[in-house]
Structure 1
Amino acid sequence: MRLYGILLIGLLLMGVAVKGQELGARWSESRAQQWYDSHDWFAGTNFNPSTAINQLEMWQAESFDLETIERELKWSADLGFNLHRVFLHNLVWQQNSGEYLERIDKFLEMADKYDIKIMFVLFDDVWDPLPVLGKQPDPFPHRHNSGWVQAPGREYLEDASKDPLLEAYVKGVLTRFKNDNRVVIWDLYNEPGNPNANSYGAISTNKTELSQKEKNKHALRLVSKTFKWARDIGPSQPITMGIWRGSVEDWNDISAWDTPEKLSELDRAIIINSDVITFHVYANTLMGVKRRVNKLKAYNRPIICTEYMARTNNNLFEDVMPYFKEENIGAINWGFVSGKTNTIYPWESWEKTFTKEPDIWFHDILRKDGTPFSEAEVKLIRSLTK
């Protein structure tokens, strides 16, 4: 009887171990597809309130603007959007994790009020590599994303001894919301390895940005660890990272996108560890968009585009969004309400001088009073989302 009890306990423990391994594994293709099919077609924007220049200003206690957030979420719902991609930041977590989680919860309550699901982004390798808590700078006039900050930023990215702080952040946020149906998917890391070549990467006098080689090396470490930390928690929602470039030598060369063994080590880690395939596309023709989608179909998983729409780059709602709807590909454009991020101005505003609002906005849909940049675009969006 005693031996039987020992064997029974052993079998039970083995069952727990197997269950834990399954929970920590990449989702099967069928599980990912079942998840995707259980939702309406995803359409929405990358959401940042117009009163915040970056993630820190959005989430810090002294600048957390729930009134503006609610107003702009309501406008989003009026357009029929049902999913927003929203950036978090590790420094706000480290400042006071409990209060930060409560603010995130308040945000989710507001989004849920308007039937909008959320995709949270935990890390980001784009724009200012030296984030600092506290009052954020005013926008540099007429410059695209003059105050957006990276997470965790260069200090943490190149110092692996700080990884336990990042692990606590990732696991703390996922543990709190891993079974929360208001969070529909986790986007763990935005554009890992982005060298900011035309902005901070070009500020040679300050040496603020890492070289491409160094940044790829450190980003690969954090990408790999972040996937593992997320799997350790085992959220009920899928996890993903978006593929965003072709080869390091030629960002438009996507020939290897459907062949993981030909990808760089960093991009391969992104693709083969994601439950759902996500990607960015600012191609200047619809054919360029279709080429990327056709490559990604090879993975036989749901596909969501988490960044698109740049008008002066000829990447337009009128071309891309109907195609995404036809192909049942989630459509999340960059920018919603014009505000402190200045993303109505193009990327080249870092290199060229702009002195007034451009006649054709680069990103964004609505002005601060809720009126649209383009009535025709709003009509099109409503026709697709309704």
Structure 2
Amino acid sequence: MKLFLPGLLLILSFFSACAQQAPQELQTVKGRWNEKKINKWYAKQPWLVGCNYYPATAINQIDMWQASTWDPERIDLELGWAANIGMNTLRVYLHDLVWADDEDGLYQRMDEFLTICDKHGIRPWFVFFDDCHFPNPQLGEQPLPVRAYHNSAWLNSPARDLAKRYAKGKASPEEIAHLKGYVQGTMERFKKDKRILMWELYNEPGRGNGLNGDMGAKSKKTRIGDLSQKLVFDSWVWARDVNPSQPITSCTAGSVGKNNIKINRLNSDLHSIHSYTEPQELKTLITDYQKDGRPVIITEWLARDRGSTVEACLPVMKEMNVGAVNWGFVSGKSATIWNWGSRKNPAGKKRSVLQERAEGNVVQPGEAMPEPEVWFHDLFRYDGTPYSTAEIELFQSLTTDNS
């Protein structure tokens, strides 16, 4: 026994240390709304219907929000179309570089945007971080759309090199303060604003774009997107410190990395999930998340050539009492009417946006955007004519007397 006891104590000490270093994904940050509170809040809302919104004149988040390309007249026009089909909310991306460059100006533009939304009976929410698509954002003039290429200039926020350094604990104190200030300063400014529906901290952490790597380690078997988990978790700590009057969510289904998903599922007041699948798979996903006893919003859907259509999926979401927020609204610079496969050439090789821009394969200002026969995302053309009159009529019929 005398010989065994020290060894046993050593083993117990080891497991005690491991317990003290429990992974962050097992923790719930203090401040989460309980089920009763969030369900009471949700019951007061109309059936939430909207889109991921940026004006057709903007190719990415920076283009939408920086002063030189801010376009309130176009936004007002398009939100009139949104209200006319029954939309009452919008999912809207911010960008940390615009905040850092012009914090007061960004807040003024956000306030103007909220005023326009309020005019049309729409309550939007804002998204802070995003791992999707191109890794090196820059302020100033944004690139022209590559012809017939899905989303040729959507940007990471923060830049991927900063996100990776943050993940490895190598971000500078100034960079950490930048990211924290972006979240907390913005929330503090608008935390009591009733025009804002809620907040979303992180879109699809770990996703990448398949062209420039992703936010994770690669193995022979899988890609693990959990390199983002430190920023995912810290964003919850920062947000709960502010404790806004609006609920908070962060994307789960649609993200990459089991820890990213766990952190967000454990901490979200209500669930933000993505589905670009046909109705039966959509129902299965919704049912899984509804088991948590919290409201669910499908914050990305609509991929017509994959069975995620307005006719097939919008009635399902209404029947199951989940929010319906499709990707895209007006066909424009993002060119998301083209599907994900448009990023490859007919031989299946990835197209290079840098090379094609250098070769001049872009849509010039004033030139009509090319259209595929079957649109992937989006509902309207630039002039306000619908891609499908039947789709618009279904939106209108399902949102009539919305309550």
TM range (shorter): 0.7 to 0.9
Alignment-derived partner of residue 92 in structure 1: 98
Helix, strand or coil at the partner of 1:194: strand
Change (3 A) 1:311 1:62: same
Q: Deviations over 1:357-379 (max 9, x none)?
A: 21110000000010100000000
Q: Does the CA-based 8 Å contact 1:45-1:83 persist in structure 2?
A: yes
Partner in structure 1 of residue 182 of structure 2: 169
The alignment partner of 1:40 has SS state of coil
Distance 1:350 1:247, change over 3 A: closer
Q: Confirm whether residue 58 of structure 1 aligns to residue 64 of structure 2.
A: yes
Structure 1 runs (4+) greater than 6 angstroms displaced: none
- Please list every run of 5 or more consecutive structure 1 residues that lacks an aligned counterpart in the other structure: 1-22, 202-208, 249-263
Task: Assess, with a 3 A threshold, how the Cα gap between structure 1 residues 247 and 159 changes in structure 2: closer, same or farther.
Answer: closer
1:309 corresponds in structure 2 to 302
For the pair 1:70 / 2:76, whether they are aligned, the reply is yes
8 Å CA contact 1:312, 1:360 repeated in 2: yes
1:45 and 2:51 correspond: yes
Alignment of 1:150-299 (within 5 A): 150-160=156-166, 161=171, 162-197=175-210, 199-201=211-213, 209-212=214-217, 216-245=225-254, 264-283=258-277, 285-299=278-292
Distance 1:124 1:287 in 2: 28
Q: Is the 8 A contact 1:304 1:331 kept in 2?
A: yes
TM-score by length of 2: 0.82
Aligned pair count?
341
> What is the 5 A alignment of 1:19-30?
25-30=31-36
Identity of aligned residues (%): 41
- Please name the residue that 1:112 is paired with: 118
Q: Which residue of 2 is the match for residue 14 of structure 1?
A: none
Equivalent-residue separation in structure 2 for 1:184 and 1:212 (angstroms)? 35
Give the whole-Å Cα distance in 2 for the aligned partners of 1:376 and 1:130: 40
Provide the C-alpha distance between the structure 2 equivalents of 1:126 and 1:156, rounded to a whole number of angstroms: 14
Contact kept, 8 Å, 2:252 with 2:261, in 1: the verdict is yes
Q: Which amino acid is the alignment partner of residue 44 of structure 1?
A: G
Structure 1 counterpart of 2:127, from 94, 100, 121: 121
Structure 2: distance between partners of 1:167 and 1:126? 20
Matched, 1:373 2:387: yes
Please say if residues 205 and 255 of structure 2, whose CA atoms lie closer than 8 Å, have aligned partners that are also in contact: no
Q: Could you tell me which runs of 5 or more consecutive residues in structure 2 were left unpaired when the two chains were aligned.
A: 1-28, 352-360, 362-369
Deviations 1:8-57 (A, max 9, x none): xxxxxxxxxxxxxxx95100000000110111110011111000000000
CA contact (8 A) 2:86 2:399 kept: yes
Q: Structure 2: which amino acid aligns with 1:344? A: I
SS at match of 2:201: strand
* Corresponding position: 1:103 with 2:104: no
Task: Give, in angstroms, the shift of residue 61 of structure 1.
Answer: 0.3
Contact 2:32–2:267, Cα closer than 8 Å, also in 1: yes
1:92-114 per-position Cα deviation (integer Å, ceiling 9, x unaligned): 00001111111111111101110
Separation (CA, whole Å) in 2 of partners of 1:144 and 1:84: 21
Shift in Å, 1:294: 1.1
**Aligned-pair RMSD on alpha carbons?**
1.9
CA contact (8 A) 1:59 1:100 kept: yes
Distance 2:157 2:100 in 1: 12
TM-score w.r.t. length of structure 1: 0.85
* Aligned partner letter, 1:300: G
- 1:138 is aligned to 144
The answer as to 2:312 corresponding to 1:319 is yes
Q: Is the 8 A contact 2:204 2:256 kept in 1?
A: no
Counterpart pick for 1:352 among 339, 345, 357: 345
- Shift of residue 278 of structure 1? 1.4
Report the Cα distance in structure 1 between the residues aligned to 2:103 and 2:227, rounded to whole angstroms: 25
Contact (CA 8 Å) 2:272, 2:299: kept in 1 or not? Answer: yes
CA contact (8 A) 1:156 1:163 kept: no
Trace 1:2-17 onto structure 2 (pairs within 5 A).
Answer: none
**The residue matched to 2:379 in structure 1 has which SS?**
coil
